[in-house]
Amino acid sequence: KAGVTQTPRYLIKTRGQQVTLSCSPISGHRSVSWYQQTPGQGLQFLFEYFSETQRNKGNFPGRFSGRQFSNSRSEMNVSTLELGDSALYLCASSSGGQGPIVEQYFGPGTRLTVT
Amino acid sequence: GQSLEQPSEVTAVEGAIVQINCTYQTSGFYGLSWYQQHDGGAPTFLSYNALDGLEETGRFSSFLSRSDSYGYLLLQELQMKDSASYFCAVLADRGSTLGRLYFGRGTQLTVWP
């Protein structure tokens, strides 16, 4: 079974621009979560989607948004980029369902650098 | 809110045993997970404890005490390939019945030959 894939792997953007990151979960997984990882803050939860609906949301400004498609693929968008948005953005998939998500499978991440 | 504390760095030699502690403060606690992340790699799931006690999986074991809001990851017979960051993560809810993971800042384990 193929793992979680994320594209692009590396990205350099200028402050003020916007960016869209993509994540394809493991086949059959319906839940996709997004995390921001920085050296100082560790992994910070952005949001989680299940069956095209946002089920959970972290404490990030509205510049961070996401969506999920009917095939469970997900995208996240960051508008009006700031220098502080430079980070590794990780996507994680799980089978989802009604209960809490215990085990998540992470993709390799997208390394975003904002200059 | 949620808070997790774990040491930032731990060092040990090959063949040794190391314990990485994690203390947490949270409401709506479901359980404690551990993830491993090698430099440049993706976090990978190691274990999940929902009940008090020790769970053993090969060279790795994980312990939870819900009454003490404390857990640890025990790595035995250390190998060079165990050098990585280890994250504890609390699975907890905040009004949602679904819960989500709250990660600690990670412990960098360095194994020396």
Q: Measured over all CA atoms, what is the biggest interatomic distance in chain B, rounded to whole angstroms? A: 47
Give the pair of three-digit tokens for residue A112: 């975003």
Flag if A56 and B96 touch (Cβ within 8 Å): yes
DSSP secondary structure of A9-53: SEEEE-TT--EEEEEEPPTT--EEEEEEEETTTEEEEEEEEETTE
Share of chain A above pLDDT 90, in %: 78
Q: Give me chain B's average pLDDT, please.
A: 92
Flag if A45 and B48 touch (Cβ within 8 Å): no
Flag if B100 and A108 touch (Cβ within 8 Å): no
Residue A92 CA to residue A57 CA, distance in Å, equals 14
DSSP secondary structure of A69-91: -TTS-EEEEE-S--GGG-EEEEE
Q: Is the pLDDT of residue B95 over 60?
A: no
Q: How many CA atoms lie less than 13 Å away from A74 in the CB half-sphere? A: 35
Burial bucket for residue A55 (CB in 10 Å: 0-12, 13-18, 19+): middle
Residue A45 CA to residue B7 CA, distance in Å, equals 21
Q: Give me chain A's average pLDDT, please.
A: 92
Flag if A104 and B101 touch (Cβ within 8 Å): yes
Q: How distant is the Cα of A104 from the closest Cα of chain B, in angstroms?
A: 7
Q: A24-64 pLDDT, tens per residue?
A: 999 999 999 999 999 877 899 999 999 899 988 888 999 99
Indicate the residue of B42, B45, B87 with minimum beta-carbon distance to A108: B42
Q: Does residue B55 belong to the interface with chain A, where contact is any CB pair within 8 Å?
A: no
Share of chain B above pLDDT 70, in %: 95
Q: Amino acid identity, residue A59?
A: N
| Least confident stretch, A92-96, A109-113, B40-44, B55-59 | A92-96
Q: Is the pLDDT of residue A85 over 90?
A: yes
Residue A70 CA to residue B30 CA, distance in Å, equals 29
Indicate the residue of B41, B45, B103 with minimum beta-carbon distance to A42: B103
- Closest alpha carbon to A21 in A99, A84, A73: A73
CA distances from B39 to B36, B42, B81, B84 (A): 10, 8, 11, 7
Instruction: Specify the residue for token string 């050296």.
Output: A39
- Could you tell me whether strands A10-13 and A110-114 are parallel, antiparallel, or unpaired per DSSP bridges? parallel
Cβ-contact A59, A35 below 8 angstroms: no
Flag if A100 and B91 touch (Cβ within 8 Å): yes
